[in-house]
Amino acid sequence: MGSVMEVIVVEVPELGNHAHLVHDGAHALVVDPPRDWRPLELAAEEASVRIAAVADTHVHNDYVSGAPALARRHGADYWLSADERVHVDRLGVRGGDILGVGDLVVQVLSTPGHTLHHQSFLVTDPESGARTVFSGGSLLHGTVGRTDLVDPLLSRMMGRAQWESARQLGALDDRVALHPTHGFGSLCAATVPGDGVHGTIGDERETNPVLRTTRDTYVEALVAGFGPVPRYYRHMSALNRAGAGATPVLPPSEVDEVAVHAAVRAGSWVLDLRSRHDFARAHLTGSVNIEDCPQLATYAGWLVPWGTDVVLVSDSTDDLAAGVHDLAQIGMTVRATHLLGPVDTWLDSTDYRVADWATYSRSPRGSVTLDVRLDAEYHASHLPDSMHIPLHDLDGAIGRLPAGQVWVHCRSGFRAAIAASLLARRGRDVVLVTDDWDAIESIGLPTVASRPAA
């Protein structure tokens, strides 16, 4: 019986990425595994295949790679561009190389743009003729990977390379399946990607602007559309070049309330993973609320100064475990955790208000309305009397806010809840608007659009 190629997609929601395992029924290649590679190993076990090779399409900017550790665990080759300078054992590969994984044939494609030495892997099943390309951060569903992460000053040069790489992939046969790593919530995507998980090169030729726009026009639009870069990204390349993903994640200690209070006084960041409503009713003064969800790592990594001592608290053991796991994916170590009881009287009943847009519309003006959405969201539509400070800039700008009560909002309430906790930590009188932005229209509140500052 001939080989039958199968691609198994493993979602990594805490990173907004997908990792992949492709096999011929006996041997498998894993592409772009996160630090927690266990779901991919489990997928291999369920398919009864051996992991024969592990590849990174590039040195990642958004997470700690698990590829070197997974390869070593299985005695497999670790493939990475031969031109990358790293301090881990790898099989250096270059564009044009032809490699084998069981019966599958893997062609390495040089696709720079997202990073200088980015590669894609075109996998062919000789028996059926089926082909799949694993494009990493090059050609994504409906967009491409952003080109400003290596160095913002190189973003146009890298953008031109990205356009060429996307065109190279777009020249493949229509039936070639496309499986990118980024683009499912990752801020490594240049623009909001399409919703599809599965797609083909033919689909992209029909809809992806990079395959339908001239180079210079596309590059200028690409560069103009980049949003902010999470601060923790600047540390990921060095960690991956050093092979940090091979280091075991140390379990945090479990501490009592006295130690949590001491952590706040010592300057640690105490992150409370409970719901925004529970936090608003009662919390430890000085703690910050980031609800447990797939965006936890992104916003914790963005807001918490790198290397700062981190303590997690929650009323759920599952949420604490998930928080430790998700932060480890980006190289953040949680020193300690504390499980809150059903009624913890030592929490401060600071009790800031949670409101909807209807309540806001009836409130007297004179308070500060603070919009913490991204620039593009704000300029598209905002309340005419609102101040705008994106969440990632808020902690350093609180001292510049006018005096008075602050009504803070975002699009859905998640970011505003983080902002409200940052404001309350600094002693501000806060009202958290946790309504969806879309509800404004039904309330009849006026909005305006504006041009971005030059």
For residue 365, give the amino acid letter.
R
**What mean pLDDT is predicted for residues 319-336?**
97
Beta strands in 268-309 (DSSP E): 269-272, 288-289
Q: Is the pLDDT of residue 379 over 50?
A: yes
String of DSSP letters for 394-433: HTTTGGGSPSS-EEEE-SSSHHHHHHHHHHHHTT--EEEE
**Exposed / middle / buried, residue 77 (Cβ in 10 Å: 0-12, 13-18, 19+):** middle
* Confidence grade of residue 1 (pLDDT, cut at 50, 70, 90): very low
Share the mean pLDDT of the chain.
94
**What mean pLDDT is predicted for residues 228-233?**
95
Closest Cα partner for 190 from 155, 228, 156, 147? 147
Poorest-confidence range of 39-43, 167-171, 358-362? Answer: 358-362
Distance, CA of 123 to CA of 129 (rounded, Å): 10
CATH number of 353-443: 3.40.250.10
Mind listing the pLDDT tens digit for each residue in 409-445? 999 999 999 999 999 999 999 999 999 999 998 898 9
| Helix, coil or strand: residue 247 | coil
Would you state the CATH architecture of domain 6-241? 4-Layer Sandwich (3.60)
Q: Cβ(169)–Cβ(201) under 8 Å?
A: yes
**The pLDDT of residue 5:** 95
Distance, CA of 302 to CA of 323 (rounded, Å): 15
Mind listing the pLDDT tens digit for each residue in 61-110? 999 999 999 999 999 999 999 999 999 999 999 999 999 999 999 999 99
**What mean pLDDT is predicted for residues 225-236?**
94
**The pLDDT of residue 183:** 80
CB atoms within 10 A of CB 258: 9
Mind listing the pLDDT tens digit for each residue in 140-157? 999 999 999 999 999 999
* Confidence grade of residue 191 (pLDDT, cut at 50, 70, 90): confident
Q: Cβ(212)–Cβ(161) under 8 Å?
A: no
Q: Cβ(51)–Cβ(102) under 8 Å?
A: no
**The pLDDT of residue 363:** 85
* Confidence grade of residue 212 (pLDDT, cut at 50, 70, 90): very high
Distance, CA of 221 to CA of 191 (rounded, Å): 11
Q: 3 or 254: whose pLDDT is higher?
A: 254
Name residue 311's beta-bridge partners: 270, 336
Q: Where in the chain is the domain with CATH 3.40.250.10?
A: 249-339, 353-443
**The pLDDT of residue 185:** 76
Q: Where in the chain is the domain with CATH 3.60.15.10?
A: 6-241
* Confidence grade of residue 195 (pLDDT, cut at 50, 70, 90): low
Can you give the pTM of this predicted structure?
Answer: 0.93
Distance, CA of 71 to CA of 81 (rounded, Å): 15
**The pLDDT of residue 338:** 96
Tokens 């902002």 -> residue: 419
Would you identify the CATH topology of the domain 249-339?
Oxidized Rhodanese; domain 1 (3.40.250)
